[in-house]
Amino acid sequence: MRDCTELAKLIKLGNAGEAGGLSVIPEPDISEIEQSGEASVTLRLGRWFSVLRQSSQTYFDVRLEEVDLKAEARASKRYFIPFGEPFTLHPGRFVLASTLEWLKFPATLGGYIGGKSTLARRGLIIETAAGVHPGFNGCLTLELANVGEVPIKIRPGMKICQVFVHTVPGGTRNSAGPLTGRRRPFLGAPKIDAILNKLTS
């Protein structure tokens, strides 16, 4: 795991567009990272939210065909919340959000997203698919859920999560192509699982 000094160096390098660096845009306060002593970079909440509408979708079958995924995408509703306005997440509800920061990981780095303890203690779950693979490029999609007892007002621009960065020894290959970046929460499609298809056919 990279420490705060190394993280600061990596971000400076990445934000200058240099190979091997970690891009985090908008750039966080580098001096704050250097002095924090923490081994993570805190990220902020973006302004786009995506909600799956119960009334439009009866179920999600993990063996979906492409056409069904399009229908699922149509069944979700996207919200833009300006800075200064809240998004209220009620108990038991789930919403996709994204980080305000655009991140680009080189082939030599990977990471894990973690929640913020103060938010977690109030029932806000941030991320359940936490791995960030080498070569990731874009805003991270967050899976927010309120498992607490009271509604929580979240606000674009707030500190929402942290990313821990790890070296990938000998890393030369990216997990995805160079053009994967997205600004907004992305539902995505499950990869085709040939074994599951054989088992269930």
Positions in the binding site for other proteins (CB under 8 A): 14-15, 17, 23, 25-27, 47, 83, 100, 102, 104, 137-139, 157, 177-183
Instruction: Pick the closer one to other proteins by CB: 110 or 152.
Output: 110
Q: Is the bond leading into 178 cis (omega within 30 degrees of zero)?
A: no
Q: How far is the CB of 139 from other proteins (least distance, A)?
A: 8
Strand (E) positions, the chain?
A: 23-25, 40-52, 76-80, 87-89, 94-104, 109-115, 124-125, 131-132, 137-146, 152-154, 159-167
Q: How far is the CB of 55 from other proteins (least distance, A)?
A: 23
Q: How far is the CB of 101 from other proteins (least distance, A)?
A: 9
Q: How far is the CB of 27 from other proteins (least distance, A)?
A: 5
Residue with tokens 């600061």: 8
Q: Which of 6, 34, 72, 143 is catalytic?
A: 143
Among this protein's residues, is 101 annotated catalytic?
Answer: no
Residue with tokens 């942290």: 162
Give the other-Cβ count within 10 Å of 41's Cβ: 25
Instruction: Pick the closer one to other proteins by CB: 101 or 146.
Output: 101
Using an 8 Å Cβ cutoff, are 163 and 41 in contact?
yes
Dihedral angle over CA of 188, 76, 161, 128, nearest 10: -60
- Within 3-126, where are the H helices? 4-15, 30-36, 66-75, 117-120
Output the six-digit token pair for 189.
């499609």
Would you please indicate which residues are annotated as catalytic (active-site) residues?
143
